[in-house]
Amino acid sequence: YIINNFKQVVLEEEFLQLTVEELADILDRDDLNVQLETTVYEVLTKWISHVPAERKQHLTTLLPKVRLGLMTSDYLKDNLLSSELVGANSECVSMISNVILDIHGLGSRPFMSGLCHPLARPRLPHSILLAIGGWSGGDPTNGIEAYDCRANRWVNVTNNLECPRAYHGAAFLNGYVYFIGGFDRVEHFNSVRRFDLTTHIPNKCGPVGGFDGNNRLRTAEAYNPHSNTWNLVSSMLTPRSNFGIEVIDDRLFVVGGFNGFTTTSNVEYYDTLTNEWYEACDMEIFRSALSCCVVSGLCNMTEYTFPRDFLPLANVPEEAMESAEST
């Protein structure tokens, strides 16, 4: 739990009660979930500052657990060498000075030149990006690659038992990656494959809309991972393929696409509580083969939202209007 939730755990009082051996073991781990090594150093100094007279002697043991080679030379100079804690420890000063020389010798990103240096060894990423199938060299491919964002490297994890496919959907659920539908130049799939990330073994396991080789579809199916079954749900209002799809406010939105005749700006959403599809506001731009993503927590959210002062009354929920009338 500590390894996966490091930034939250260090805020708790119990963290400051760890022994030096326990803390050294945590900071040394490749799978420690932390984006910046500066965070690791700041946590180390926080732990020492809790009982400085007793713990400052442990700096020589703990500082080598921090991946100093992943910090900038400016940060090392301004925050480590200039600190009273580090400055009083000649062994640590020498270690940091050597790292700064290595950084200048290898470039601003030393880990790109050598991953085996212990002070420049990237930690394992908490998440990976999978690139699955698609078109390559004029044909569909079964290639699967995983992107390691901490090391800036792609790793080939292809299973050659899996058939090539393009124009498919992909989703991660309960430890499995699902490949939904797709096309291999000959056949338009209505099948779903489930890829086990532990064993790398694919298994055959509903899609929404799409193209069956003859017609654009408006049917929708819901998958139950516990029973490994698909069940038909309410059909979309408009047949379409090549649309964007995302979930926001517990509603499944399908955006744009191709309806068999033209590219569309039409948007609709599915409500699981009612098992019905509803029209949403159309986009201003007709588009197909688009991608959608949901972004949360923006500090400048007003720059990406419609001005509230200019919203027509029709956008106010009915229950809110009834409440206002009753008062």
Mean pLDDT on 239-264: 88
Cα separation, 160 vs 144, in Å, equals: 10
Cα separation, 217 vs 300, in Å, equals: 38
Residue 103: its pLDDT value, please? 66
Residue 233: its pLDDT value, please? 93
Residue 113: its pLDDT value, please? 45
SS3 78: helix
Reported as type and span, the H/E element at residue 106 is helix 90-106
Residue 298: its pLDDT value, please? 66
Query: Is the separation of the CB atoms in 222 and 208 below 8 Å?
Result: no
Residue 316: its pLDDT value, please? 45
Cα separation, 65 vs 46, in Å, equals: 15
* Strands laid side by side in the 244-248 sheet: 244-248, 251-258, 263-271, 276-280
Buried b (16+ CB within 10 A) or exposed e, 299-313: eeeeeeeeeeeeeee
Cα separation, 131 vs 115, in Å, equals: 24
Residue 212, pLDDT above cutoff 70: no
Mean pLDDT on 302-310: 74
Residue 194: its pLDDT value, please? 83
Q: How many alpha carbons fall within 13 Å on the CB side of residue 293?
A: 2
Greater pLDDT, 271 or 120: 271
Question: How do residues 58-100 score in pLDDT, each as one tens digit?
Answer: 999 999 999 999 899 999 999 999 999 999 999 999 999 999 8
Buried b (16+ CB within 10 A) or exposed e, 276-298: ebeeeeeeeeebbeeeeeeeeee
Residue 303, pLDDT above cutoff 80: no
Residue 324, pLDDT above cutoff 70: no
Provide the residue count of the chain. 327
Residue 276, pLDDT above cutoff 80: yes
Burial status of residue 232 (CB atoms within 10 A of its CB: 0-12, 13-18, 19 or more)? exposed
Residue 313: its pLDDT value, please? 58
Contacts by residues 184-190 (CB-CB < 8 Å, ≥ 24 positions apart):
184/140, 185/139, 185/140, 187/213, 188/212, 188/213, 189/165
Query: Is the separation of the CB atoms in 221 and 231 below 8 Å?
Result: yes
Question: How do residues 41-67 score in pLDDT, each as one tens digit?
Answer: 999 999 999 999 999 999 999 999 999
Residue 235's pLDDT band, with cuts at 50, 70 and 90, is very high
Burial status of residue 37 (CB atoms within 10 A of its CB: 0-12, 13-18, 19 or more)? buried
Question: How do residues 120-137 score in pLDDT, each as one tens digit?
Answer: 888 888 888 788 888 888
Residue 144: its pLDDT value, please? 84
C-alpha angle 97/103/108, rounded to 5°?
145
Compute CA distances 151 → 11, 38, 322, whole Å: 28, 17, 56
Query: Is the separation of the CB atoms in 179 and 170 below 8 Å?
Result: yes
Residue 241, pLDDT above cutoff 60: yes
DSSP state of 259: -
Buried b (16+ CB within 10 A) or exposed e, 187-202: eebbebbbbeeeeeeb
Question: How do residues 149-208 score in pLDDT, each as one tens digit?
Answer: 787 788 888 888 888 888 888 888 887 888 888 888 888 888 888 888 777 766 665 455
